Each structure stands twice: as C-alpha cells, then as structure tokens.
Amino acid sequence: MDKNSNPVICVFCGSSSGSDPQYAAVARTLGRLIAGRGFSMLYGGGGLGLMGETARAVREGGAHVVGILPDFLRRVEQPPEWEKDLIVTPDLQDRKTRMLTMADAFVVLPGGAGTMDEFFEVVTSASLGVLAKPILVVNTGGYFATLKRLMDHIVREGFARPEILGVYRVVDTPKEAMDAIADELGLLTRK
Ligand code: AMP
C-alpha cells in the first residue's frame, strides 16, 4: 500500500443479487463502510447484482471506485455509466492478476461460481505464499457455512495443510470485516 493513498479494498461478490434481500442490504452496508472509512473499492466493474449494489453505495458515500472488466463482459455485466475508472482487460485471468496486485485487502460477499473462483484464487495464492493481504469472508445469513465445511473437509482428508484455514477469516458482518482489515493494515480508523 502506498503511504500516501487510501487502502484499496477489493470486493468479490455476485453479479446476481441472490434470492434474499438481505444479500443486497449487506452489500450496501459494506459499500457505505468502505466509503465511511475513506477507503476505495476495487471490483469486477459490473453494474448488476451485489457488485452493482456495493459499487453504488461506495460512490454515494463519496469514495473512489475502480472496476476491472474483461472486454467480452462489457455487455453482459453492464458497468455503471458513472464509472470513470474502468480498466478493460483482455480476459478473466488478467482481471484477477490486476486485482491481486492492486488490492490491499479482499472482502468476499455471497456470490456464484465467479465469486468462488475469486475466493479460491486469493486463498490458494496466500497459502502458497505469493499473496500476503487480509482476506475476509462475510458470512451473510450463513451463506458460507457450506464453504467452511468444504475447507474443513479438504484439510481433514489430507489435501491441504491446516494453515490454509488461517489465510482468510470468516466474519458475520461487514463491520467486523472492515475492523479486521483496519487492524491488519495497521490503521486506526474506527467508524
Ligand atoms: P458470479 O459470482 O458468478 O456472479 O461472478 C462474480 C464475478 O466473477 C463476475 O464479475 C464474473 O465475471 C466473474 N467470474 C465468473 N467466472 C469467472 C472465472 N472463471 N474467473 C474469474 N472471474 C470469473
């Protein structure tokens, strides 16, 4: 993290809104907290689903939003027209590489296969020692209970070392995620 710039929080979440309105509500709460702490948000660049909800809330809070979107998804994921800082990449892999480089911390909200891909990307990178940044999973309505069980199962069956469970943290609320990030990044902000 550049000493003179605000921490960049990369948010991984669904390009859909899910079946329960609490998912969108929690996405908006996270966006407000990111803005309220003077952080900026990095994300997949789309305007739909929880991605759009979070990005709009950050912008409405007056903070900076940067989207990274593969060219072929511009039509599908519909970047908001206000999004001036849209980085267009040739493919999904390049998008993820840039996200991992540009972010200071990662927050995972409920989402689909794309969100899970992003979760495993940062968790495997961290467990292999090529990424050392906070990773927080917000367990909205228990959405990630099955993911927690899968990770425990992977360790129990001997396909990963228990240390992998320590490279990310599962928390219940966006506020806990932001507090953990502030602590890990050594910031004193408390809002
Ligand atoms: P989803 O959680 O499936 O709604 O997707 C969330 C985000 O992940 C969207 O911006 C998708 O474009 C992206 N995504 C989907 N599949 C992949 C993949 N294989 N690798 C990286 N990102 C993906």
132 Cα–ligand 1 center, Å: 22
**What's the pLDDT at 187?**
83
**What's the pLDDT at 55?**
98
- CB of 52 shorter than 6 A to ligand 1: no
55, part of any domain: yes
**What's the pLDDT at 114?**
96
For residue 126, what is the domain's CATH number?
Answer: 3.40.50.450
**What's the pLDDT at 191?**
52
Quote the tokens at residue 65. Answer: 């939003």
**What's the pLDDT at 84?**
87
3, part of any domain: no
**What's the pLDDT at 9?**
98
**What's the pLDDT at 2?**
54
Give the integer Cα–Cα distance in Å for 189 and 174. 15
- Sorted by sequence, the CB contacts under 8 Å of residue 107 that are 6+ apart come out as 9, 10, 11, 12, 30, 136, 137, 138, 174, 177, 181
Residue 125, domain extent: 8-184
Q: pTM for this structure?
A: 0.95
129, part of any domain: yes
Total domains in the fold of the chain: 1
**What's the pLDDT at 189?**
52
Low-confidence ranges of the chain (pLDDT < 50): none
**What's the pLDDT at 121?**
97
* Pocket test residue of 75, 95, 115 for ligand 1, highest count of atoms within 8 A of CB: 115
**What's the pLDDT at 159?**
98
